[in-house]
């Protein structure tokens, strides 16, 4: 090769190297720009938008959700104390029949007992008659009142109280003639005779009837089962951590979604036993009102004791039983709190400061340290 050819070849080589270096630098700058843009976009996409709120502690009443089924406060079995044939009453009752307090429910035949009572009264009348001559001579001051007693005495009427003895000797004389024994035997029979008529102890309904007119009844036999319809009781299971806030005498309003009515309830007593299956304590609440039926489901909210320095927050912002999310320096952080009381929708807690920015929306998939933007 000539010198000219070597010169041309060197120039071309140098030119090619310069063009290659320029192209390399150009492609490298474009790649770095693309990577930088992607990194910025990924960083921006990781910043979440969350809603925060601030809470101030205060003294709030504890709210306890109450629900349960209503049952009759008084539901009893009617049993006779005497033996006899069942006679028709003033009204024929069937299962579901309504009755008023004092209505005659069952009438048991009492002819034999009545005639036996007449005989006992006749025996007393005869005994008093026999002592009248002795009273006239030995106790003249007592003769007049005993004479008046005899004149008013009737074997078909309830026996009136005996005249009061004026002296001990008169009392001993009357007792020696067996007068007092006869009198109290008659009074016991008179009381027993009242058991042949069974009257309603309250207003209510017949749940079932097991005996009808013509049946022979005896002591201990169940004639019917009746229920008081003027007073009901609701048994509400309450969690153990809320029992301390419930006291007898507290009042609340109960409602029924089926009847679309409200009723007033009063806490009557709190059980000392725990339902082991649910770890709850039964609370008994008396309920009164028109339209109540045995078995109706009622619910309400009981205002318990005042809770000091607590904050009410929604239940769904809790991460677990002890923590919530807050925002610090545009990052997500966990904070421990103490739950004091619960309702179906909210919690009464301690441990939240007024300066805390509590995350109340957008909690899903958040993690500690994540960058966030706030939407108040």
Report the 3 state secondary structure along 246-315: CCCCCEEEEEECCCCEEEEEEEEEECCCCECCCCEEEEEEEEECCCCCCCCEEEEEEEEEEEEEEEEEEH
- Boundary (domain end) residue, out of 279, 305, 331: 305
CATH number of the domain within which 328 lies? 2.40.420.20
> Given a cut of 90, is residue 181 above it in pLDDT?
yes
Task: Kindly report the number of other CB atoms within 10 A of residue 282's CB atom.
Answer: 17
- Cite the DSSP H helix spans in 323-376: none
Residue-averaged pLDDT of the chain? 85
pLDDT at 37: 46
pLDDT at 1: 55
Cα dihedral 262, 264, 268, 273, rounded to 10, equals 20
Q: Are residues 83 and 214 in the same domain?
A: yes
The answer to whether position 23 is within a domain reads no
pLDDT at 200: 93
- Boundary (domain end) residue, out of 277, 305, 333: 305
More confident residue, 139 or 244: 139
Q: How far is CA 139 from the centre of its chain?
A: 68
Q: What is the Rg, in whole angstroms, of the alpha carbon atoms belonging to the chain?
A: 47
The answer to whether position 16 is within a domain reads no
pLDDT at 365: 82
CATH number of the domain within which 217 lies? 2.40.50.100
Q: Are residues 116 and 190 in the same domain?
A: yes
Q: Are residues 125 and 190 in the same domain?
A: yes
Q: Are residues 79 and 208 in the same domain?
A: yes
The answer to whether position 253 is within a domain reads yes
Q: Are residues 119 and 78 in the same domain?
A: no
Q: Are residues 291 and 239 in the same domain?
A: yes
* Mean pLDDT (whole number) for 238-260: 85
Q: Are residues 78 and 122 in the same domain?
A: no
CATH number of the domain within which 250 lies? 2.40.30.170
pLDDT at 38: 46
The answer to whether position 280 is within a domain reads yes
pLDDT band, residue 137 (cuts 50/70/90): confident
Percent of the chain with pLDDT over 90: 38
Q: For 193-196, which contacts have Cβ atoms below 8 Å and span 24 or more sequence positions?
A: 193/110, 193/113, 193/114, 193/117, 195/80, 195/81, 195/82, 195/108, 196/82, 196/84, 196/107, 196/108, 196/109, 196/110, 196/113
**How is residue 201 written in tokens?**
């102890």
The sign of the torsion formed by the CA atoms of 224, 229, 231, 236 equals positive
- Select the highest-mean-pLDDT range: 120-124, 132-136, 271-275: 120-124
pLDDT at 22: 67
Q: Are residues 52 and 94 in the same domain?
A: no
Q: Are residues 115 and 190 in the same domain?
A: yes
pLDDT band, residue 301 (cuts 50/70/90): confident
The answer to whether position 17 is within a domain reads no
Q: Is 89 exposed, middle or buried (0-12, 13-18, 19+ CB in 10 A)?
A: middle
> Given a cut of 80, is residue 343 above it in pLDDT?
no
* Mean pLDDT (whole number) for 100-124: 93
Q: Give ∠ CA 180-186-187 in degrees, rounded to 5.
A: 90
Q: Are residues 205 and 239 in the same domain?
A: no
Q: What is the pLDDT of residues 188-202, one digit of tens each?
A: 999 999 999 999 999
The answer to whether position 359 is within a domain reads yes
Cα–Cα dist 232/292, whole Å = 8
Point out the least confidently predicted range of 127-136, 226-235, 303-312.
303-312
End-to-end Cα, the chain, rounded Å? 83
Residue 350 contacts residue 25 (beta carbons within 8 Å): no
Q: What is the pLDDT of residues 39-71, one digit of tens each?
A: 444 444 578 888 888 888 888 877 788 899 998
pLDDT at 178: 92
* Mean pLDDT (whole number) for 316-326: 88
pLDDT band, residue 29 (cuts 50/70/90): low
Name the residue range of residue 164's domain.
111-194
The answer to whether position 6 is within a domain reads no
Q: Are residues 312 and 361 in the same domain?
A: yes
Domain count, the chain: 4
Q: What is the pLDDT of residues 66-95, one digit of tens each?
A: 899 998 888 899 999 999 999 988 888 888
Q: How many Cα atoms are found within 13 Å in the side-chain-facing hemisphere of 53? A: 11
Q: Are residues 342 and 238 in the same domain?
A: no
> Given a cut of 70, is residue 2 above it in pLDDT?
no
- Boundary (domain end) residue, out of 247, 278, 305: 305
The answer to whether position 8 is within a domain reads no
Residue 218 contacts residue 83 (beta carbons within 8 Å): yes
């Amino acid at each position: 090769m000539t010198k000219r050819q070597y010169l041309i070849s060197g120039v071309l080589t140098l030119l090619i190297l310069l063009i290659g270096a320029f192209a390399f630098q150009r492609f490298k700058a474009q790649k770095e720009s693309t990577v930088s843009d992607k990194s910025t976009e990924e960083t921006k996409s990781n910043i979440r938008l969350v809603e925060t709120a601030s809470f101030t502690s205060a003294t709030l009443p504890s709210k306890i959700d109450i629900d349960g089924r209503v049952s009759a406060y008084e539901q009893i079995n009617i049993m006779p104390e005497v033996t006899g044939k069942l006679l028709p009453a003033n009204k024929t009752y069937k299962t579901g029949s309504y009755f008023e307090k004092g209505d005659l429910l069952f009438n048991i035949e009492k002819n034999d007992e009545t005639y036996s009572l007449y005989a006992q009264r006749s025996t007393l009348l005869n005994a008093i008659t026999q002592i009248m001559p002795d009273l006239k001579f030995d106790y003249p001051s007592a003769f007049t009142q005993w004479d008046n007693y005899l004149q008013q005495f009737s074997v078909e009427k309830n026996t009136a109280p005996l005249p009061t003895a004026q002296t001990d000797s008169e009392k001993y004389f009357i007792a020696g003639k067996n007068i007092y024994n006869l009198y109290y035997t008659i009074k016991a029979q008179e009381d027993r005779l009242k058991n042949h008529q069974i009257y309603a102890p309250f207003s209510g309904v017949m749940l079932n009837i097991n005996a009808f007119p013509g049946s022979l009844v005896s002591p201990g036999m169940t004639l019917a089962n009746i229920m008081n319809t003027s007073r009901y009781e609701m048994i509400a299971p309450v969690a153990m951590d809320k029992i301390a806030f419930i006291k007898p005498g507290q009042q609340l309003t109960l409602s029924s979604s089926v009847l679309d009515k409200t009723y007033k309830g009063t806490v009557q007593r709190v059980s000392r036993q725990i339902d082991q299956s649910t770890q709850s304590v039964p609370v008994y609440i008396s309920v009164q009102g028109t339209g109540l039926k045995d078995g109706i489901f009622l619910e309400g909210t009981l205002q318990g004791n005042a809770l000091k320095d607590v904050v009410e927050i929604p239940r769904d912002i809790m991460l677990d039983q002890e923590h919530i999310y807050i925002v610090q320096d545009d990052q997500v952080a966990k904070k421990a709190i103490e739950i004091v009381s619960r309702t179906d929708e909210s919690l009464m807690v301690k441990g939240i400061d007024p300066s805390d920015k509590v995350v109340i929306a957008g909690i899903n998939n958040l993690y500690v340290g994540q960058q966030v933007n706030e939407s108040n």
